[in-house]
Amino acid sequence: IADFCNHYQRFLLTQYRWVIHVDSDELLVAEDGPAGLLARLRADTGPPRIVEPGHAVDLVMHPDQEAPLDWSRPVTHQRSHLVPNPEYRKPALVSRPATWGPGFHYAVEAFDVVEGPTLWMVHVGKAGLALCLERNRKWRDTARSETDEARVDHAHRRQDEGQMRETMRRLVTSPHAHAVPGWMSGMF
């Protein structure tokens, strides 16, 4: 998939100044909102570059205090805990070709990666207990080649509801957890 996205990104950069790549359970969020980000990107005349967000967090459900997600309402009105996760500080916004590695967590051109201080990568994979358990089940059930098995072991993905509840509880009560900032509330 990374190879395909690398080639497709190069094609898109022949037609557009900027390309964003995130996984389906990630949101690239700007502190000044989508309109502010678009305005900044349109006005940008700087050199082509690869940008990673200055902030990377998991949006985590508190299993003892928060109800299952209602997808008809903004998720940030239903969840109140962000937990820093440096794994999601990954090159997501490019104006020059990038060569993403497996999982898109790095670019080979690391020398050209700069930080976007007002950008946040918000991973929503832990925003709901059922969502997380289903995602983990799918990852564990996906057939992989021997090479893929050796590269990434998915055995750590919890399938037990009790274990997942405890993991979420531990995350939201850790000293690193913090509240969803007011500017982000209701944004998604």
CB atoms within 10 A of CB 53: 25
Give the model confidence (pLDDT) of 100-117 as tens digits: 998 899 999 999 999 999
pLDDT at position 126: 95
pLDDT at position 145: 74
Mean pLDDT of 121-136: 92
Give the model confidence (pLDDT) of 135-176 as tens digits: 888 777 777 677 766 666 555 565 688 999 999 999 999 999
pTM of this structure = 0.88
Give the model confidence (pLDDT) of 18-31 as tens digits: 999 999 999 999 99
Element (H, E) at 174: none
| Among candidate residues 117, 83, 65, 91, the one with its CA nearest the CA of residue 2 | 91
CB atoms within 10 A of CB 21: 20
Q: Angle 161-172/129-141 helices, nearest 10 degrees?
A: 120
Residue of 21 and 2 predicted with greater confidence: 21
- Give the max Cα distance, the chain: 51
| Among candidate residues 1, 188, 25, 8, the one with its CA nearest the CA of residue 98 | 8
Give the model confidence (pLDDT) of 63-102 as tens digits: 999 999 999 999 999 999 999 999 999 999 999 999 999 8
| Among candidate residues 187, 173, 188, the one with its CA nearest the CA of residue 61 | 173
d(CA 126, CA 165): 10
Mean pLDDT of 114-137: 93
